Structure 1
């Protein structure tokens, strides 16, 4: 393992820096083998000191140069390069090349050590290259996120895909160097292990395919409000990566969803609502059916005092009276002929009230309709869109509407259905 270097041969050779310590020690009658080890250690220590000094100086120079350039530059790309430590990582390249260059001289008497150290430095060179690539990709990612056209795109997923390929190539190269197998031969041998690789990276592959489909089909963007009941998610998307989608719920908790679940499961994206001209109000109240009745003339006249439906009642009552007179309808029985009902007039009132409400978008659908009767009464549903889509304001508008509608029902001799409670029963002790 150790090549013996004879005293007579070294003395007869011209001066060489790599054997300078060895020659000095031999002149001091130090044993030959000991002198060789001390010579190697001395040269190695000297190289480490030089490499450290060069690395320090280059790092200082690059950092100062990039920092000054970033201060005068209008683009923020150079600021992001400094933030992601690109100059710092690049500065390590020259010291590493110096170390690799001088390894053969330091370990000239120890060829086995030389091979191991060279492999170690080459593996470190691969790792350093991956650091530089990662820093550059993170810089590109941060820069792309500042662009308005890409702000809501899953940039993280794309960067992670490139980084995965880089790490796979780096790991395979490192293994090829350590084993001494040519890279192409090593790569060919991996074909047999492809099934295992696919199994190990199953989630990554699924996430990669899903992120591409999500992006191409524009299913989810950063900032979208989504509801995913299976995972308990209801809030804004704050991050889309290769493997996961992070949703900040309204209670400020974070829910993590597998990216591939977005294409394999059903979820609701509220983007259509937020990008539209209004937010939908769709809520009903149930009327007790026994309170529904025909209106007589006195009751109709009383309801004419309500401004929103005065013109409607005058026109309808005129049409109904004309019809009943022309057809000689016997009005001794209210069921005969045409009549107004309290729930029909109430529905018209609510329609007029919604159409005149200042917070309702008049250019979108406005409808007050009956739903199918049930054991809990006759539902009257309000279907409209508020102009203000902000959650707090939207809830206020909807509550304001139903406050008024609920309070208006007694004016039409209608009752709202509710399940009986203890106060509804006359309990005798």
Structure 2
């Protein structure tokens, strides 16, 4: 091929040296164009046809392979093979084309192996054994080993040396390299782990109290991760610390579209009591619980008639103002326009303490905007604090100066009488 192109160029009155150079360049271009064309055909035709077959098949493992882009990485093998096969066409650059093709082939195989391990881990996670014996750590070791071997092979091809010689040289120099470039190597490995596990991205809101970080990530480099805190200060964290230490990332909260409210009000225990008929009639006027009270009252009356023989209120089942208040809060949150109804929504009674009975709200707002979240949370608890007396309950609060002054005035008036 090269000789034929050279002969044509010489026939066009070009000198032999120029003709040979142009012929070599043309061959290079043709080989790479052929490889690119083969890649396009494989991606546009073979890969699409394979996707159709996978979607129509009843098995699940091929769907997982497709979801983790295993077939897309396998397509990269085709242009590498094309370059290797057509390399003999280039008389003068044949050796370099062979090296380039093998290096690209190793890279494609590593990428395919990487994605295949991800898919294998996904398939394994669906089994019962995965609950007690996770494989993610082992698969990460396999990935690191595979990439290390692939890097040695590529370097040995470029330097035209045996892989064993390269490996021996690396072993001899590793002690010096680890001593001199300790922080760089730790940062490099940490960067790979952060990227591979998608642990942190730019603009993520993270909290790392050990380093005083609470804000948005503004920069991720080899050695440091910069966080702009909400008070506009900047915290610099070593990259390897992001892997070796724990931190909280709020990204999933922002992606889910809901932010949690977890706050309790303490009810004075002495204000909890059984409901009389008068109280029940009063509570029935509250729209959210009127239907519930009617159904529950009938249920309890029927139960007590069958199982209770004494008129003492201790016997049998009876409604309490605290229980009705809790049901009211559930109905109130279910009808609140700013509460995310598809996420967890709980109103729970916690263990009584010296500060009363905590009634905790565990819900999510339907927005993650900080200002809106705080406004919604404040609005909900404003309402709760205002509505508690309507259920004949009291908020627990330690005595204040106002309470003591009021008590003192009452005592003085009592003595004067």
Distance in 2 between the 1:414 and 1:305 partners? 17
Equivalents in 2 of 1:228, 1:329: separation in Å?
61
Does residue 222 (structure 1) correspond to residue 202 (structure 2)? The answer is yes
Q: 1:279, CA displacement in angstroms? A: 1.3
Equivalent residue, structure 2, for 1:339: 318
- Secondary structure at 2:264 match in 1: strand
User: Equivalent residue for 2:220?
Assistant: 240
Is 1:366 the counterpart of 2:355 in the alignment?
no
Partner of 1:406: 385
Among 381, 398, 404, the residue aligned to 2:360: 381
Change (3 A) 1:372 1:189: closer
Quote the residue 1:253 is aligned against: 233
1:274 equivalent in alignment to 2:254: yes
**1:199-218 deviations in whole A, cap 9, x for unaligned?**
23211111111011111011
Asked whether the equivalents of residues 272 and 321 of structure 2 are also in contact (C-alpha less than 8 Å), the reply is: yes
Q: Shift of the alpha carbon at 1:194?
A: 5.6
Q: Does 1:294 align with 2:274?
A: yes
Distance in structure 1 (CA, Å) of the matches to 2:275 and 2:169: 90
Scaled by the length of structure 2, the TM-score of the pair is 0.55
Quote the Cα distance in structure 2 between the aligned partners of 1:397 and 1:260: 38
Identify the match of residue 312 of structure 1 among 289, 292, 311: 292
The structure 2 residue matched to 1:390, chosen from 369, 382, 386, is 369
Give the Cα separation in 2 of the matches to 1:314 and 1:190.
Answer: 81
1:285 aligns with 2:268: no
Match of 1:421 in 2: 400
What CA distance in whole angstroms lies between the structure 1 residues aligned with 2:336 and 2:257?
16
Distance across 1 between alignment mates of 2:386 and 2:330: 15
Distance 2:314 2:169 in 1: 91
Tell me by how many angstroms 1:419 deviates: 1.9
d(CA) in 2 for partners of 1:191 and 1:285? 63
RMSD, matched Cα: 2.0
TM-score normalised according to structure 1 size: 0.54
Give the count of matched residue pairs: 241
Residue 387 of structure 1, CA deviation? 0.7
1:328 Cα offset (Å): 4.2
**1 CA distance for matches of 2:190 and 2:248?**
17
Is residue 198 from structure 1 mapped to residue 178 from structure 2 by the alignment? yes
SS in 2 for 1:359: coil
Larger radius of gyration: 1
Q: 1:312: Cα distance to partner?
A: 0.6
Write out the 4+ residue segments of structure 1 that deviate beyond 3 Å after TM superposition. Answer: 188-197
Distance (whole Å) between structure 2 residues aligned to residue 270 and residue 191 of structure 1: 41
Where structure 1 has 5 or more consecutive residues not aligned to the other structure, the ranges are 1-187
Q: Which position in structure 1 is the counterpart of 2:124?
A: none
- CA distance in 2: counterparts of 1:301 and 1:236, whole angstroms: 53
- Name structure 2 gaps, 5 residues minimum: 1-167, 413-417
1:319-358 alignment to 2 at 5 Å? 319-331=299-311, 333-358=312-337
